[in-house]
Amino acid sequence: MANYFNTLPLREKLNQLGVCDFMNSSEFLDGVNALKGKKLVVVGCGAQGLNQGLNLRDSGLDVSYTLRKEAIEGKRDSWKNATENNFKVGTYEELIPTADVVINLTPDKQHTAVVNAIMPLMKEGATLLYSHGFNIVEEGMQIRKDLTVIMVAPKCPGSEVRAEYVRGFGVPTLIAVHPENDPQGKGLAQAKAYCVGTGGHRAGVLKSSFVAEVKSDLMGEQTILCGLLQTGSILSFDKMIEKGIDAGYASKLVQYGVEVITEALKQGGITAMMDRLSNIAKIKAFEISEELKDIMRPLFQKHQDDIMSGEFSRIMMEDWANGDKNLLKWRAETGETAFEKTPAGDVKIGEQEYFDNYTLMVAFVRAGVELAFETMVQAGIKPESAYYESLHETPLIANTIARKKLFEMNRVISDTAEYGCYLFDQACKPLLSDFMKKVDTDLVGKNFNEGKDGAVDNRKLIEVNEAIRSHQVEQIGATLRKAMTAMKAIKTA
């Protein structure tokens, strides 16, 4: 098999990268009807598998799980996830032949093996559904021509797909029909119904393509969403320890700070997040985030370039073939960091204190969101897609860090995202070493406003506010958030 994207002429590459239509809520009035009474069989019951299934069942759909024999016999976590939630579980032979829709929620590295195992068992004219396009686009998987192939991709970690649904909201979702596999023309209706079943229509849905989803998802997860949150958290914690800040305080500030800070981002964009700072802190955060953008821009561009060329997929698949050697090495190294090994202290930190004492993270988030958005758009990804993949998903990833640090983030996200996160982190830390040498506790650990009279140059403040508000991510974000009428504030620490 060959990388499908690389077989396309440039014209078609750009065409498929640019597929991105925001879908009006009126396009979902048929709800889940296209799948009502159909048998939905999920392969795999992990981060996405369990949480999507819980939402689909609550939306009135018939969901069961098919697992590997060894998972059932060995009562593995996936078997526990499914049975403890009272889902029917069966082997491939038992459940796949009856399935109208088979949902492949196994790790990307297993997709070729899994699809080769289940495809012969799928009935004539059934549908195969993915939540990420890697297998089709980066590996060029060929699917039986009588089968319909669709994608419903939540721009969100599995745990938050469920958490937002339970709050009465949902998560932004990209849907797509594989142009090579839509023989009955039913793909779009089924993708829309499935999307309603997961609650995605309440947050925002883009009619996308397998290509557009993959090339943006890999970029978002490697850079702003996981990579930079990991790098920023570790560097912030280490700086506080170096400067003598209490370890328990430092750990709590980092573990919960990014969730509190990015909750403002989710509700009102970079503008609302920066407005939570004092005027003098906002100007400082703006200035250092401009410096961070200059330092990290080449790395963000390299990640996007390697994703577009297929180079990223090639090196990750080399690691797959090498028994996940680098993934496991980097996972272990992350677990050994001081931040990961220091429990959050039993200390009170007020909601505003997370902003005033963690100006550095505000700067990291602005720099990362703007850089990821700019780099994706320059590469041909449409602004709506870039917004969901950079700004809106950052707080959802931050929710996992607040739960159980970087361990939880790297457990919940896909192995593909985890690999990309470490790849970025390995390169970004040394890139920032000179920058971090200049950072002191006024930017991380202590209140930036302490000992300062708060006076600002009005023209400078006006210039900074204008620069923040005029960024394209703020323009498109204001429009997309208007459709998020069901968004709920989350309870932060």
Ligand X SMILES: CC(=O)[C@](C)(O)C(=O)O
The pairing of strands 101-104 and 127-130 is: parallel
With CB under 6 A, what is the number of residues at the site for ligand X?
A: 11
Let me know if 201 is a catalytic residue.
no
Q: Can you tell me the distance from the alpha carbon of 476 to that of 85, in angstroms, rounded to the nearest whole number?
A: 39
Stretch near ligand NDP under the rule CB under 6 A, chosen from 9-17, 150-158, 253-261, 358-366 = 150-158
What span, in angstroms and rounded, lies between the C-alpha atoms of 209 and 213? 6
Q: Find, among 395, 16, 48, 414, the residue nearest to 222 by Cα.
A: 414
Task: Write the DSSP string, 46-112.
Answer: SHHHHHHHHHHHHTT-EEEEE--HHHHHTT-HHHHHHHHTT-EEE-HHHHGGG-SEEEE-S-GGGHH
Q: Please state, in angstroms and rounded to a whole number, the distance separating the CA atoms of residues 360 and 232.
A: 8
Site for ligand X in 410-439 (CB under 6 A): 413-414, 416-417
Q: Which is nearer to ligand NDP, 24 or 86 (CB)?
A: 86
In DSSP terms, 78 is beta-bridged to: none
Interface contacts to Mg ion, rule CB under 5 A: 217, 221, 414, 417
Q: Which stretch binds ligand NDP (CB under 6 A): 55-63, 167-175, 407-415, 445-453?
A: 407-415
d(CA 324, CA 329): 8
| Cα–Cα dist 450/454, whole Å | 9
Residues 136-175 contacting ligand X, CB under 6 A: 155-157
Q: Which token pair is 280?
A: 């003098």
Nearer to ligand NDP, 76 or 243 (CB): 76
Does the annotation list 408 as a binding residue? no
- Residue 215 contact, options Mg ion, ligand X, ligand NDP, none, Cβ 5-8 Å cut-off depending on partner type: none
Least separation in angstroms between residue 225's CB and ligand X is 6
109 annotated ligand-binding residue: yes
Q: Is 60 labelled as part of a ligand binding site?
A: no
**175 is a site residue for ligand NDP (CB under 6 A):** no
The entry of ligand X, Mg ion, ligand NDP, none near residue 64 (CB within 5 to 8 angstroms by kind) is none
| Nearest distance from C-beta of residue 160 to ligand NDP, angstroms | 8
Residues 176-235 that bind ligand X (CB under 6 A): 217, 221, 225-226
For residues 159 and 186, is the Cβ–Cβ distance under 8 A?
Answer: no
Catalytic residues: 132
Q: Per the annotation, where are the binding residues?
A: 45-48, 68, 76, 78, 108-110, 158, 217, 221, 278, 389, 393, 414
Q: Which residues bind ligand X (CB under 6 A)?
A: 155-157, 217, 221, 225-226, 413-414, 416-417
